[in-house]
Chains A and B, each alone.
Chain A
Amino acid sequence: MSTSRRNFLIAVGGIGLATTVGSARATPEAMREAIRRVARTAAIRVGKVKLDIAPLVENGNSVALSVTVESPMTTADHVKAIHVFTEKNPLPEVISVFLGPRAGRAGISTRVRLADTQAVIAVAELSDGSFWSASADVIVTLAACLEELT
């Protein structure tokens, strides 16, 4: 069997395409698994958490993000941890913050990288063992992480 130039190019192109698609990129499933690793078997309810992030972002390299959780922050009832996850970044985890009643208010802000237009999810763990979440969809016009070094 002789390999024509056309078939050869199709085959080589296919390899190239397969490797690009298979590059490091988390999936919504990977994000769910990452959230499961944090929450284990506990049910995650929507509410109590407020996730502030711009809905349209020009540059994914630095996106302001803040998470606040409704909580009295007393010894008996406080937020133990705040976790942030993304759907399509190379890794689903973004940040995990562990706090306690000494924080006064359950709120953090930081700046994150977003590799694509995607959903961002914040999960809060309360001292009573319950988990609450909030999500936000963000459109990114210039993605982070993918640019080449010059």
Chain B
Amino acid sequence: MANALISVPPKAKRGEIIEVKTLVRHAMETGFRRTQLGERVPRDIITRFVCTYNGVEILRAVLHPAIAANPLLAFTTVATESGTLEFKWTGDNGYSLIETAAITVV
């Protein structure tokens, strides 16, 4: 599996509401777990997610440790024009991942 799985319909009618699904590989270590020796495992999570459509922000999210490992986020957007959707995840320890998906609007 790649680091992120993205599902965007490759083609859509203008004005149609399309569903976007994103799944990114990340352990989302909560910072509340302890090892058998009692040491706390430091927090390492994705804290921010932004989705832009041809440079315009569609959706932004703030994630907390209560989001399960390999965070999934599904949402909708209006297919306005052909172009690219860009997805950006950022998080603890300098984590950053950018993925794009192309869409053709007819």
A residues contacting B by CB (< 8 A) are 24, 61-63, 66, 86, 89-91, 93-100, 102-105, 107-114, 144-150
A103 to B67, Cβ gap below 8 A? no
Which A residues touch B68, using CB under 8 A?
61-63, 110-113, 144
Given contacts A90-B32, A103-B59, A148-B33, whether A108 and B67 have CB atoms under 8 Å apart is no
| Chain B residues whose C-beta falls within 8 Å of the C-beta of A89 in the assembled complex | 66
Residue B97 at the A interface, CB < 8 A? no
How far is A97 from B75 in the complex, measured between Cα atoms in Å? 10
Contact residues of B with A, CB < 8 Å? 17-18, 30, 32-36, 41, 53, 56-69, 71-78, 80
Majority SS of interface residues in chain B?
Answer: strand
10 contacts between A and B (CB under 8 A): A90-B65, A94-B67, A96-B62, A97-B75, A102-B56, A103-B59, A103-B76, A108-B75, A111-B68, A145-B33
In Å, the complex CA distance between A99 and B76 comes to 10
Measured between alpha carbons, how far is A63 from B41 in the docked complex, in Å?
22
Query: In the assembled complex, which residues on chain B have CB atoms less than 8 Å from the CB atom of A63?
Result: 68
Q: B61 CB to closest chain A CB, in angstroms?
A: 5
**Is B67 a contact of A24 with CB atoms below 8 Å?**
no
Identify the closest chain A residue to B61 (Cβ). A97
**Distance between Cα atoms of A92 and B27 in the complex (Å):** 20
CB distance from B59 to the nearest CB of A (A): 5
Partner pick for A107 among B41, B57, B76, B78, CB 8 A cutoff = B76
Across the interface, A145 reaches (CB within 8 A) one of B30, B35, B77, namely B30
